[in-house]
Amino acid sequence: MPYIPVTETQRGQMLSRLGVNSIADLFTDIPEKFRFPALNLGRGLSEHEVLAEINSLAEQNLTAGSGNWFLGAGAYNHFIPAAVSALAGRGEFLTAYTPYQSEVSQGTLQAIFEYQSMIAELFGVDVVNAGHYDGATALAEAVILALKNNEERSLVLLPEALHPEYREVLATYLCARVPEIKTYTGSPADAARAASDKNAAGIACLVAAYPDFSGAIPDLSGAAAAVHDSGGLFIVHADPLMLGLFKSPGEYGADIVTAEGQSLGNDINYGGPFLGIMGVKKELMRKIPGRIAGQASDARGRRGFVLTLSAREQHIRREKAVSNICSNQGLSMLRSCVYLALMGKEGLKTAAELCWNLSHYAAQAIAAQPGFTAYPADGNFFREFIVKLPGEREAEKISEKLIRKNIVPGLPLSRYFPGRKNELLICVTEKNSRSDIDRLAESIRTACDEEDF
């Protein structure tokens, strides 16, 4: 669209509507010394000079690629094959819009269909949607689905070791409702039975984290039956990479499975965009938010793909909407689709095994240092574990020391739990070598030995 200049009359009318006399009045909240044109920008730079300046600034950052990275807590530094970016970066995908018009959207629809098919097999469920904003919002939508499924029930059971930020997102999503949210410890099955005994009205849903925030893997056996006996839905928030090695939530009888898809071919990118995943058993497929791509055939028997099981109005009309999900994480979903297709079952299993073996090697190496403790003590964890530092050593101070040596040792748990100052959540992926881990163990011990606490 060509630029159309605004006339003085039009400018005056707009300012009058806003209740101000001049454009300068729009900036009165900004201190005068900071207002344009009082900016000392210096001379203009050439493209080469600008790029050199930007690169010099970028080099000051410590990134997952420039240091020893052991930070996880929801964003994971996994290997991504080069083909993922090459294929997902094609213009046909980057510029594609919402595929409502199926005759001109076959490529996008097929990608969604293939993605949903692979995730459904990984989760052990019947139907998967096209994507949520991230894992936290996917879980929140799952809880809302459960509450809508039986509006006479309001009890939501959450594990104590759920990611703290997921709990905050849940509270935000549910603020307009009146659910009774309770936290449980121990096994999901025992929690469901105990809650059923105390609540005659029954449970709306029970959420299990698989694994939980500390990396521990709970026993999901019997949980589905216990929740179903109370008339509720069993929701499992799973790690999709771990499912390449472990039993799927669907095999445990989960009604709804959610996950964060960042670890499946998506970069960390300073926190986004990530990918929320949701799958359900077929009884709930018409209640799931978001879009579902289906396979069909035309009058000549040729294979084609369409959006199915819901109308467009279900997503864009407030009175008909299952949720507020409209534009989905299409490119993040595509990257996960390409990643899964490239890795295959064996590749996904190998990546998960590497994470398992290397993280357990790290836990043993650090726990072997005098005064250090690593847990879960039974060793039943995936990719992440907690280290308790000796004495009164503070994880935040240790982390600051090691970052100056280009080692990011993990997440000090005091960020979420102020009373846990000497605990560190450490993440190990297939990108961390044994020598990286040995350096981490030695560096943590040395930092704790220094007398500046």
**Residue linked to tokens 């949607």:** 129
Q: How far apart are CA 386 and CA 425, in angstroms?
A: 5
Cis peptide before 273 (omega within 30 of 0): yes
Confidence of residue 94 (pLDDT cuts 50, 70, 90): confident
Q: How far apart are CA 276 and CA 262, in angstroms?
A: 8
**What structural domains does the chain harbor?**
68-77+344-449 (3.90.1150.10), 82-340 (3.40.640.10)
Q: How far apart are CA 114 and CA 208, in angstroms?
A: 27
Average pLDDT (53-78) is 93
Q: Write the secondary structure of the chain as one string of H (helix), E (strand) and C (coil).
A: CCCCCCCHHHHHHHHHHHCCCCHHHHHCCCCHHHCCCCCCCCCCCCHHHHHHHHHHHHCCCCCCCCCEECCCCCCCCCCCCHHHHHHHCCHHHHCCCCCCCHHHCHHHHHHHHHHHHHHHHHHCCCEECCCECCHHHHHHHHHHHHHHHCCCCCEEEEECCCCHHHHHHHHHHCCCCCCEEEEECCCHHHHHHHHHHHCCCCCCEEEEEECCCCCECCCCCCHHHHHHHCCCEEEEEECCCHHHCCCCHHHHCCCEEEEECCCCCCCCHHHCCCCEEEEECHHHCCCCCCCCEEEEECCCCCEEEEECCCCCHHHHCCCCCCCCCCCCCHHHHHHHHHHHHHHHHHHHHHHHHHHHHHHHHHHHHHHCCCCCEEECCCCCECCEEEEECCCCCCHHHHHHHHHCCCEECCEEHHHCCCCCCCEEEEECCCCCCHHHHHHHHHHHHHHHHCCCC
Q: What is the pLDDT of residue 317?
A: 65
Confidence of residue 314 (pLDDT cuts 50, 70, 90): low
Of residues 117, 132, 76, the one with CA closest to residue 278: 132
For the beta carbon of residue 269, count every other beta carbon within 10 angstroms.
11
Q: What is the pLDDT of residue 321?
A: 65
AA identity, residue 232: G
Average pLDDT (315-324) is 63
**Over the chain, what is the mean pLDDT?**
91
Q: Which residue has the higher pLDDT, 314 or 178?
A: 178
Average pLDDT (337-346) is 97
Burial (Cβ within 10 Å: 0-12, 13-18, ≥19) of residue 25: exposed
Confidence of residue 310 (pLDDT cuts 50, 70, 90): confident
Position 66 pLDDT exceeds 80: yes
Cis peptide before 289 (omega within 30 of 0): no
Q: How far apart are CA 311 and CA 224, in angstroms?
A: 31
Confidence of residue 402 (pLDDT cuts 50, 70, 90): very high
Predicted confidence (pLDDT) per residue in 135-194, tens digit: 999 999 999 999 999 888 999 999 999 999 999 999 999 988 878 999 999 999 999 999
For the beta carbon of residue 174, count every other beta carbon within 10 angstroms.
16
Cis peptide before 5 (omega within 30 of 0): no
Confidence of residue 322 (pLDDT cuts 50, 70, 90): low
Position 92 pLDDT exceeds 70: yes
Average pLDDT (61-89) is 94
**Residue linked to tokens 């105990």:** 194
Of residues 158, 160, 193, 152, the one with CA closest to residue 173: 158
Residue 230 token pair: 């109370």
Q: How far apart are CA 209 and CA 160, in angstroms?
A: 10
Predicted confidence (pLDDT) per residue in 218-250, tens digit: 999 999 999 999 999 999 999 999 999 999 999
pTM: 0.88
Residue 38 φ/ψ, nearest 5 degrees: -80, 60
CB 248 within 8 A of CB 214: no
Average pLDDT (404-426) is 96
Position 362 pLDDT exceeds 70: yes
Q: Which residue has the higher pLDDT, 199 or 14?
A: 14
What percent of the chain has pLDDT above 70? 93
Residue 29 token pair: 């909240």
Half-sphere exposure of 127 (CA within 13 A, CB side): 20
Predicted confidence (pLDDT) per residue in 271-297, tens digit: 778 999 999 999 999 888 888 999 998
Rounded to the nearest 10°, the torsion over CA 230, 233, 238, 242 is: 70
Rounded to the nearest 10°, the torsion over CA 12, 13, 19, 20 is: -10
Strands 180-184 and 155-159 come out as parallel
Predicted confidence (pLDDT) per residue in 100-118, tens digit: 778 788 989 999 999 999 9
Q: How far apart are CA 344 and CA 120, in angstroms?
A: 14
What percent of the chain has pLDDT above 90? 70
Q: How far apart are CA 365 and CA 269, in angstroms?
A: 30
Q: What is the pLDDT of residue 272?
A: 77
Position 2 pLDDT exceeds 60: no
